[in-house]
A and B are shown apart, each in its own frame.
Chain A
Amino acid sequence: MSKVARNQFDVLVIGGGPAGLAAAACSAECGLHVGLVDDNPGLGGQIWRSGCTQAPSEAVRWCERVSAAGAQIFCGTRVFHQSKPGVLLAEGPDDLFELSYRKLVLATGARERFLPFPGWTLPNVVGVGGLQALVKSGLPVAGMRVVVAGSGPLLLAVAAYLRQHGAEIPMICEQASWASLASFGVALLRQPKKVRQGFSLREQLSGIPFVPNCWPAAAKGEKILEEVVISQGTKTKTISCDYLACGFHLVPNSELAVLLGCQVQDDLVQVDDFQQTSIPGVFCAGEPTGIGGLELSLVEGQIAGFVAGGRSAAAQQLFAERKKLHKFARTLDRTFALRGELRNLPLPETIVCRCEDVTLSRIARHGSWRAAKLQTRCGMGPCQARVCGPATRFLFDWSPESVRPPVFPTRFENLSAMTVQPEMEHREVTGGRG
C-alpha cells in the first residue's frame, strides 16, 4: 500500500521551470510556507534542465533563492488528481502526496508540438527540445550530423547548443516564410536583450544554412534514422544524418488547469492582470497562459508569486515589462504559425498515434475526435493524447475532449489510496476555495 505523505502549504507551485521557480521564490520570500513540485529529476523545467551539465547562472540563482527562502521541493513528482478544492494528489518515486494549499500557482510549462510525416517514428528522430534534453542528460553528439527542422525560436537556440557540443548541423529547416521571419526580426529589434541574443546566435550559427519555407518530407532508415528528405515546395534534398531534431513550436501543458476547472480558451489558461485564473486563489504563470518564452515566464512567475504572497504592489511594478514581453509573445504566434502544406506530409500509412500505432488512413475515416478515438483507440495510450492530440487538431481541426483524472498515468496503488471527499463530484467551476 502506498505511503501517504500529507503536506500543507500557504502557496503550492506546480512546475519547477522559470515561471515556477520565480513564483516559488517570490512567495517564499514573503515569508510564506511554499511547496514546489516538478516531474523532472531536477529543477529548471526544460529550458534550464541541467542533467549532467552546468545550469546557466540565472537558473542557479533562482534555485538558490527558492531554497534559501525555505521552500519545500518535490522532484520526480507529478500531480494526477485533485482530492477536493485546496488539495492536490501527486505521485512521487515512492510516495503518494496529499498537498494542501491556500494558494496554487500552475506553472506547468509547454511541450513540443510533433507533426507526423513518413518515418517520424524511427529511432533518432527526436524533438528539438527533446534532443537538447537528451544531450543535457548525457547523450554525446560530438561528430554527429544533426538536421534541425520544424518551427520556432527553439530551432536556432538548440542548433547553437548542439554545435557547441560538437555536432555538425548540415541544415536548419524552418517552415515559416521569409516574410514571417522578417517581421519577427523587426519585432525583436524592440527587445534589446533579444537583439543581443540574436547577434550572439548569428555568430554561433555562422556557416550553417538556415532555410525558411522548408520542412521534413520524410525520414528514412532501416531500423534507425539514416537520412532525411527535406522539402522546399517543389524542390527536395536528401541529407544523410545521425539525428533529426524536429518539432513544430510549442503547445501549453494546460491539462491540470482544465482538470481543476479553470477557464481555458484555445488551449490557453485565461488569467487576469494578477495572473489569477477563473478560480479564486488559483494562479497560472508562464507558457500555459500563452507561449512567450523565458523572460515572460519569469515575469509572470514573479507576479503570481508576489500576489500569492500578498505583495500586489511589487507585482504591479512588473506589469509594464510583462506588457512589452506579451507583444513579443504575440509575434511568436504569428511568425511560427503552421503552413497548410504540413497537413499533407503524412501518408495514409503514416502512424499518427504512436502509443497505439494508428495510421492516418484509419483516423481520417472518422468525422470527429471522439469517433476516431473510440474506433481506433488513438489518444487512449499512455501519453493521453499529448502527442497525437495537437497533431490531429492541426490535421483535422478537431477539438480535444475534456480532461478526466488521472491527468497523468499513475500507479494503481496511488489511485486506490486517494483520500477523497464524496462532495467532490459536485465541484463548482466558479467560486470554490482556491
Chain B
Amino acid sequence: MPEQITVTVNGTSIAVPLGATVAVAIVLAGAPCRKSVSGEPRGPLCGMGVCFECRAVVNGQSHCRSCQVVCQPGMEVKTDE
C-alpha cells in the first residue's frame, strides 16, 4: 500500500496516496470542485490544468487548479457549496 497522507476537504479528513493531487482528494470526498456561474456542480475535465473546471480554495487561496496542486499533509481544501 503506497504511503497515505491526510488533507481536509470541506472540513472532512480525506486520505490520499502520497503524490496525489487536490482534485483527486475532492473527488474522493464526493464533492464537486466548484459551482459554475449558473450553479451547476463541476468536476475536473482536462486533468492537465487548462480547463479551470477543477478550481477550489486551497489553504485560503481561491481559484487554484486543484489538478495541478499536489496534496501536502494538513492541506485545507474548500469547494463551492
> Which residues of A are in contact with B by a Cβ distance under 8 Å?
39-41, 46, 49, 51-52, 76, 111-112, 114, 121-127, 129-134, 137-140, 223-224, 253, 351, 354-357, 381-383, 386-387, 409
**A-contact bits for B10-27, CB 8 A (1 contact / 0 none):** 000000111111011001
| Chain A nearest CB, measured from B76 CB (Å) | 17
Specify which of B20, B36, B46, B63 is in contact with A137 (CB 8 Å cutoff): B20
**Contact count band on B:** 35 or more
Residue of A nearest to B34 (CB): A123
**Contact at A357–B49, with CB atoms within 8 Å?**
no
Say yes or no: A111-B32 contact (C-beta < 8 A), given A51-B19, A134-B24: no
List, in ascending order, chain A residues with CB within 8 A of B63's CB: 382
A400 to B33, CA, bound (A): 29
> Which residues of B are in contact with A by a Cβ distance under 8 Å?
2, 16-21, 23-24, 27-28, 32-33, 36-38, 40-53, 55, 63, 67-70
A137 to B28, CA, bound (A): 12
Q: Taking each of A51, A139, A381, A387, which has the highest tally of chain B beta carbons within 10 Å of its own beta carbon?
A: A139
Specify which of A41, A253, A381, A382 is in contact with B70 (CB 8 Å cutoff): A41
List, in ascending order, chain B residues with CB within 8 A of A123's CB: 32-33, 41-43
**Contact at A127–B45, with CB atoms within 8 Å?**
yes
Say yes or no: A354-B53 contact (C-beta < 8 A), given A41-B68, A123-B43: yes
**Contact at B48–A111, with CB atoms within 8 Å?**
yes
A125 to B53, CA, bound (A): 12
List, in ascending order, chain B residues with CB within 8 A of A137's CB: 19-21, 23-24, 47, 67
List, in ascending order, chain A residues with CB within 8 A of B52's CB: 355, 381-383, 409
A122 to B37, CA, bound (A): 14
Specify which of B2, B45, B69, B70 is in contact with A387 (CB 8 Å cutoff): B45
Say yes or no: A138-B21 contact (C-beta < 8 A), given A40-B68, A126-B44, A354-B36: yes
| Chain A nearest CB, measured from B62 CB (Å) | 11
A111 to B50, CA, bound (A): 8
